[in-house]
């Protein structure tokens, strides 16, 4: 598990031996898994739609960082 980024009260984590497709686990008030390439929400548990959208924006802005992890 690698915490790649902390922003806006959320932690953006990649599990290096995790399954495809490449995705980011986002933890804050709830959690979500978001595909790095498509920004599609794979799972959402307890995180508001607004927070998921903001998390996707952070992933999009830092996509290269997440790809390299």
Q: Where are the domains of the chain?
A: 2-68
How would residue 69 be classed by pLDDT, with cut points 50, 70 and 90?
confident
Tell me if the pTM is above 0.75: yes
Please state, in angstroms and rounded to a whole number, the distance separating the CA atoms of residues 28 and 19.
22
- pLDDT of 1 > 90? The answer is no
- pLDDT of 39 > 90? The answer is yes
CB contact at 8 A, 12 and 31 = no
CB contact at 8 A, 24 and 64 = no
- Spacing of C-alpha 64 from chain mean position: 13
The arithmetic mean of pLDDT across residues 23-49, rounded, is 97
Residue 16, phi then psi, degrees to nearest 5: -65, -30
Per-residue pLDDT, 33: 98
């Amino acid at each position: 598990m690698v915490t790649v980024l902390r922003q806006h009260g959320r932690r953006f984590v990649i599990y290096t031996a995790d399954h495809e497709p490449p995705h980011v686990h986002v933890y804050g008030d709830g959690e979500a898994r978001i595909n790095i390439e498509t920004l599609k929400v794979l799972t959402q548990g307890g995180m508001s739609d607004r927070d998921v959208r903001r998390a996707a924006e952070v992933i999009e802005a830092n996509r290269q960082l997440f790809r390299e992890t």
